[in-house]
Every structure is written in structure tokens, then in C-alpha cells.
Amino acid sequence: AQSVTQPDIHITVSEGASLELRCNYSYGATPYLFWYVQSPGQGLQLLLKYFSGDTLVQGIKGFEAEFKRSQSSFNLRKPSVHWSDAAEYFCAVAGGGNEKLTFGTGTRLTIIP
């Protein structure tokens, strides 16, 4: 069965600093990978997705993620965070014919001035 691990429950970074959120997946074949963001009281918004091809994926709001098959990882990065990036971030995987999204437990991002 497919699974996703987000090892960091909570991360705090200073505004303007760089950010990396970790995501490791377990899946037998090539997975389809997603990052979603959830602001307080809101639904989930898709930041980016990886299906195939270039392993570095660009998303909205200045985010990018890199698929590393050898490490079973799909880490999310941003070179300089803004206060408005404070939210909860979810990594998800799909594939294998089941096709439902399996989410990680999320990483809550706090931005300090």
C-alpha cells in the first residue's frame, strides 16, 4: 500500500529565510506526487504536482519540489518565505490503479518576523 511520511510536525522559520519541507513516500512503481497547502479554516490548495519528466517541479507562490527516486523523497522548497506562507502543508501520493490520494500527516509552518 502506498504511504507518505512527513517527518516534521512543526517548522518555524524567519521571514525571508529559505524553507524545505520533507516528504518521503512508499510506493512500488513511479508515484504521482502532490503538495497541497491549507490555511486556517480553509480547504486545500494544490501547490504543485509531479507525474513524470523533469524531476524539479515548479509550482505556485514561488514553491518548487524535487523528486528523488533514489531517496523516495519529494521535498518542497522555497528560497524566501513570506508571512503569508504560514499554513499547513500536506504531501500526497497517488497511483497503482487505486488512484485515491494518500496524504501525509502534514507540516505546520510558522513564520516569525
Interacting residues toward other proteins by CB under 8 A:
32, 36, 41-46, 49, 51, 90, 94-95, 98-106
109, 13 contact by CB (below 8 A): yes
> Would you give the DSSP letter of residue 11?
E
Helix (H) / strand (E) element for 74: namely strand 73-78
Q: 19 vs 101, which CB is nearer to other proteins?
A: 101
C-alpha to C-alpha distance for 60 and 68, rounded to whole angstroms: 20
Cell of 75: 521535498
Helices (H) then strands (E): counts for the chain: 0, 12
Least Å distance between CB 68 and other proteins?
A: 19
What's the min distance (Å) between Cβ of 25 and other proteins?
A: 13
Q: Which one, 40 or 113, has the nearer CB to other proteins?
A: 40
Q: For other proteins, which is the closer residue by CB, 62 or 103?
A: 103
Least distance from C-beta 99 to other proteins, angstroms? 4
Q: Return the amino acid letter for 44.
A: L
CB of 77 to other proteins, least distance (A): 21
